[in-house]
Structure 1
Amino acid sequence: MPHLSLSDLTFTWPDGDPAFEGLDAVFGPGRTGLVGRNGAGKSTLLRLIAGDLTPDRGSVTVHGRLAYLRQDLTLDPNRTVDGVLGIDNQRKALHRIESGEGTEQDFADATGHWDVEERAVATLDRLGLAHVAPTPDALGRTVGTLSGGETMLLGLTAALLGDPEVLLLDEPTNNLDLSAKARLYAAVDQFPGIVVVVSHDRALLDRMDTIAELRRGELRMFGGNFAHYRETVEAEQEAGRAAVRDARADVRRQGRELVEAQTKIDRRLRYGKRMVAENRYPKIVGNERKSQAQASAGKLRGNHADKLDEARRTLTEAEELVRDDREIRIDLPDSVVHPGQQVVEVADLTLACGPTVSLAVTGPERIALVGRNGIGKTTLLRALTDMPPRVPWRALPQRLDVFDETRTLAQNLADAAPHATAEQIRGRLARFLFRGNDSDVLTSALSGGERLRAALAMILLAEPAPRLLMLDEPTNNLDLPSLQHLTEALAQFRGALIVASHDLPFLREIGATRWLELTDDGVREVDPR
């Protein structure tokens, strides 16, 4: 049986920033969704499990063949499909054997892999990539024309070809169209071993058997799918909020009682002093009563003070149970595009991938650009930026390659907004959860979710303020609260939008006014229903 466990797993980044301290967990057969806020360390944990990183202390135990699909999967456009799949040497050995020129090493390489070409073609077909290599001969083609979604599916094909028993997937639905997602869901459902999936795809997470939440460096397991996890967390939060309300009320009550007790004590002491001063009873008796009153007052005061301290401790414990996770705050520039104003216009533009496109955007239109993987949505957006639009614009590319990787986050933003002060730049970054020294981190060290937040901050702070935003798969890698904030901000934007996405609920929620599908024959308007 495949097995995956973590024991006292501890890891600290070279800059001293701790990632995990003493993690213990067991992942049994079945599907586990690994969730958490952007930057919580989900990808880091997968890299530790895969052996890409070495823990400071503790261990990772994996029984069974392991395959790992990375979030930042990128391919050299000159690589061949069989090279990406890791079967190029086996194919060459098979071909030499078939031509009668096989060596002893060729037979060793081919043993157990005689049908590797057929299995590769069949797996590509199962994942919707039959057009990439419809026959074994086509496995030698280069991958430079693949879309982001096709790249991800090709990486998944490579992972599955090794017949793994433990499968790690990091944001596997990024850039996938609806049919491709359905095929990936089926592949995950049918996988017989251990699957650990990092994802913000709610539909995929609802297919999980277990949800593992990574939060504040700790890992907690929840039985059931994502919907059950959310119900459990919300019930806990409601109970936690009720406990906070009760604890705050108790603190106020104990505070009032302490004040009332102190008032009574002061009144008694004043009364005793007056009795002695007026010679109501002998001095020795008065002193004795004074001592007794002071002792009693001290005890009473101490009891109430202890109760107040206990109430405050209870409040602190209750508040710690209520989640106060930081959330991004997005303020889009107040850039107005008036009705009738020409924003973008192209006529009979032939894309490198085939379709010929004519497109005009007028006024504050909100274009939802949809279409299957590989049809050319990214190519179209890139072409629009090359000609360029008639109003100030900014584009968010799918690969988020908008940074100088050798410079810090703050320096990159300063390049985009040369008139902004250092305080303004750091203030903008803080709204996107890059606070303090986070602004001085090299962009090459950012996680997928952090890169997206940084890219959003960069295009929205740009000078001049954009009146057209062109966004290519902007929901990739965003955690659910951040996605909600982005949705709300885009819904309020008064400029023009062109958004390429496979996330149909997101496109509806930002108020798309036109839905355009890119096909082999060009662009056509479609009904979003």
Structure 2
Amino acid sequence: MSASLTCHSLSFAWPDGAVVFDGLDIAFGPGRTGLVGVNGSGKSTLLKLLAGDLVPADGSVKAVGEIGHLPQNITLDTALRVDEALGIAERRAALHAIEAGDAAEEHFEAVGDDWDVEERALVTLGELGLGHIGLDRTVGELSGGESVLLRLAALLLRRPGILLLDEPTNNLDLYARRRLCQAVASYPGILVMVSHDRELLDLADQIAELHSGEVTWYGGNYSAYEEALAVEQKAAERTVRAAEADVRKQQRELADAQLKLARRKRYGQKMWDSKREPKIVMGARKRAAQESAGKHRAVHQERLAEARERLDEAVEAVRDDDEIRIELPYTAVPPGLQVLTLEDLRTAYQARVDGVLDLRGPERIALVGRNGAGKTTLLRTIAGELQPLAGTVTAHVPLRFLPQRLDVLDDDLSVAENVARFAPGATHNRVRARLARFLFRGARADQKAATLSGGERFRAALAALMLAEPAPRLLLLDEPTNNLDMASVRQLTTALESYEGALIVASHDLRFLESVGITRWLLMEEGGLTETTPEALAGPV
């Protein structure tokens, strides 16, 4: 029987009463589904409900076939051997015992029909780029990215009919991402993936967009979804313009009707005052006129109310795709100006720069390489957070560093107060006016940093650095797109378009790097830096 996965009338709320789903119906068929939506829309919650890790308040989840779930935050016991993490240790031990001549019945029961389990495990590890780790090493010897791929290998070895992946490329370097994409592309069952990784989402057969507790389906991959969305939005904007014109028309007609009624009333009063007709006739005429006027006014008021309702519906259909649009003239770096010099640099954890590396003018440098190669260490050394073991770092312009942890914010302060810390000379009104360009308007600027969502926190940290005084003319970003939804990635991209200074960004996301106008690519390999190209990085693993 082929696998299937359906939800019927699914409802779920958090203990504080916040409703995530109320009567959700959804069915996943064969193929790859990209589950998208803004941060906080309930994507991870839905995967946990599908996997049985959360229990719905009402409704049901029905799965035909085994479910494999790769959660966003993976914790593996560092003392486990690789074969234990893969779930094959017992069968492997039994196989080795049988091969050594021990014909005990329990060994055959442990193996069952899975005589090639060790070979399958090694093949699966190899396909994910983990062939070098072997089955006897411990999890503690692996990097964070290797641990994610190991957990995926354990799922694939079980051959589940349904696979649920939650942000699987987080913490993966460029090479590991490519391996994961290959595994996704070849998966034969039902696959549902939550991701902000465009390359991965472009492998989807269909996109399910989660918004306000409901799902809308789009055929094709993420690029096709964006095209369909753009067409929808243009149609929605035309509808808004037509609805606005209708409201203005109804307002004019109501005003004209009220003017005519006022004239009739004045004429009737004049006739009453002149007593040209019998009182009983004039009274009847006045009552009839009042009734007619009331009906006439009610008709126009009803039409206006209906027009306003249509306008409200049309406005709701238009996405709130606010983009960060700012002017940062003081960040500008003229061509040729020396921005940064690294000379014979040796950092902690063995990262190094041989000879002299100069950054001049508004260059945009991508720092790429495997996890653990030393990219973060180099950025922290340039930012002055770590002292070099040898050599020199000379920044010729003001710089700011945005780390992966986003710990530049004080959780006890509001967004506005955090920005004011970095720009002590700016007035209160100036801080709030500039924050509005980062989409923190009105009361949103008064939110405590501790209460912000992941995307909001990133935007607030970016605002604090880019609006700092003196203006940063060199910006260092460390894996800025990790844990950002697609809308937040677009907002980051537009913010960097406004930034006129030099940029060094460490990232594994080639699509993002290309979108921000990288002018120079540096590969960190075995601790050293070499020039490279995006074409070379996109080549075979």
> For the superposition of Structure 1 and Structure 2, which TM-score range results when normalised by the shorter chain?
0.7 to 0.9
Contact 2:174 2:369 in 1 (8 A): no
Pairing partner for 1:242 from 228, 238, 246: 238
Q: Deviations over 1:370-415 (max 9, x none)?
A: 23556443454455542265556554445x37499xx957589979
Closer, same or farther: CA 209–366 of 1 in aligned 2, 3 Å: closer
- 1:33-55 per-residue CA deviation (whole Å, 9 max, x = no partner) reads 10111221111211221222222
Q: How many Å separate the matches in 2 of 1:345 and 1:354?
A: 12
Paired residues for 1:10-49 under 5 Å: 10-49=11-50
In 2 relative to 1, CA 435–163 (structure 1 residues): closer, same or farther, beyond 3 Å?
farther
Summarize deviations over 1:469-526 as a string: whole Å, max 9, x none.
3323222332333212211222333444221223334323323332212234832223
Structure 2 counterpart of 1:319, from 315, 321, 331: 315
Equivalent position of 2:9 in the other structure: 8
Q: Corresponding residue for 1:188?
A: 184
C-alpha displacement of 1:9: 1.5
CA distance in 1, matches of 2:206, 2:302: 43
| Secondary structure at 1:140 match in 2 | coil
Give, as a single letter, the amino acid of the residue that structure 1 aligns with 2:219. Answer: G
Q: Measure, in 1, the Cα distance between the counterparts of 2:251 and 2:351.
A: 75
Which 5+ residue runs of structure 2 have no aligned equivalent?
536-541
* Distance across 2 between alignment mates of 1:322 and 1:412: 28
Residues 128-527 of structure 1 aligned to structure 2 (within 5 Å): 128-133=129-134, 136=135, 139-144=136-141, 146=143, 148=145, 150-176=146-172, 180-324=176-320, 340-341=337-338, 343=340, 345-347=342-344, 349=346, 352=349, 360-363=357-360, 364-372=362-370, 375-381=373-379, 384=382, 385-387=385-387, 390=394, 394-398=400-404, 400=405, 402=407, 410=413, 431=439, 435=444, 439=448, 441=450, 452-453=458-459, 456=462, 468-520=474-526, 522-527=528-533
C-alpha change, 1:460 and 1:168, in structure 2 (3 Å) is: farther
Counterparts of 1:330 and 1:199 in 2: how far apart (Å)?
Answer: 28
Q: Deviations over 1:319-363 (max 9, x none)?
A: 222222566678889556786556352525377478775563445
Q: How many residues align?
A: 517
Residue identity opposite 1:71 in structure 2: Q
SS of 1:37's equivalent in the other structure is coil
Identify unmatched segments of 5+ residues in structure 1.
none
TM-score normalized with structure 2 length: 0.81
Q: CA deviation at 1:249?
A: 1.2
Q: TM-score, normalised by structure 1?
A: 0.82
Quote the offset at 1:528 in angstroms.
4.4
CA separation in 1, counterparts of 2:252 and 2:386?
Answer: 70
Stretch of structure 1 that moved more, 91-100 or 507-516: 91-100
Q: Which amino acid aligns with 2:496?
A: L
Residues 157, 468 of structure 1: alpha-carbon distance in 2 compared, 3 angstrom cutoff? farther
Q: Hey, what's the Cα distance between the residues in 1 that align with 2:107 and 2:350?
A: 38
State whether residues 415 and 449 of structure 2, in contact with CA within 8 Å, keep that contact through their aligned partners in structure 1.
no
What secondary structure does 1:265 align onto? helix
SS in 2 for 1:4: strand
Give the stretch that moved more between structures: 300-309 or 389-398. 389-398
1:286-316 CA-partner distances (Å, limit 9, x unpaired): 3332222222222221221222122222222
Aligned counterparts, 1:44-63, within 5 A: 44-63=45-64
Indicate if the aligned counterparts of 1:355 and 1:520 stay in contact, CA closer than 8 A. Answer: no
Shift of residue 152 of structure 1? 3.4
Distance 2:81 2:347 in 1: 26
Asked whether the 8 Å contact 2:67–2:161 carries over to 1, the reply is yes
Percent identity of equivalent pairs: 50
